[in-house]
Amino acid sequence: MRDRPARLFTVGEVADLFQVSPRTVFRWMAQGRLPAIRVGNITRIRPEDLEAFFEAHLSTQTRGRPGQRREVGG
């Protein structure tokens, strides 16, 4: 057996980190977008899987808020 594994995140902790509901985190797992470990009734997320998910969803562009006006022209 290997050394003690790194700390695993709970669904609630991941939801807090991304400021979404736990239901959204479960949806990401069901869609295969966020790998998770399930043992019985317990679900945990490995730090490296969380980091990969975060990196895959970084954006260099921001979107305006709905209803926000953009200036046209110069």
Token pair recorded at residue 20: 């979404």
How many CA atoms, within 13 angstroms, populate the side-chain half-sphere of residue 10? 7
User: Burial letters for 9-46: b for 16+ Cβ neighbours within 10 Å, e otherwise?
Assistant: bebebbbeebeeeeeebbebbeeeebebeeeeeebbbb
Is residue 66's pLDDT more than 90? Answer: no
Query: Is residue 65 assigned to a domain?
Result: no
The residues near 29 (Cβ < 8 Å, ≥ 6 apart) are: 35, 36, 43
Token pair recorded at residue 59: 């954006």
Query: Is residue 63 assigned to a domain?
Result: no
Q: Looking at residue 23, what is its pLDDT? A: 98
Query: Is residue 60 assigned to a domain?
Result: no
The structural domain count of the chain equals 1
Query: Is residue 69 assigned to a domain?
Result: no
Three-state SS at 37: strand
Query: Is residue 51 assigned to a domain?
Result: yes
Query: Is residue 3 assigned to a domain?
Result: no
Is residue 74's pLDDT more than 60? Answer: no
- Domain of 31 in residue numbering reads as 9-55
- For the segment 13-30, the average pLDDT, to the nearest whole number, is 96
pTM of the model: 0.71
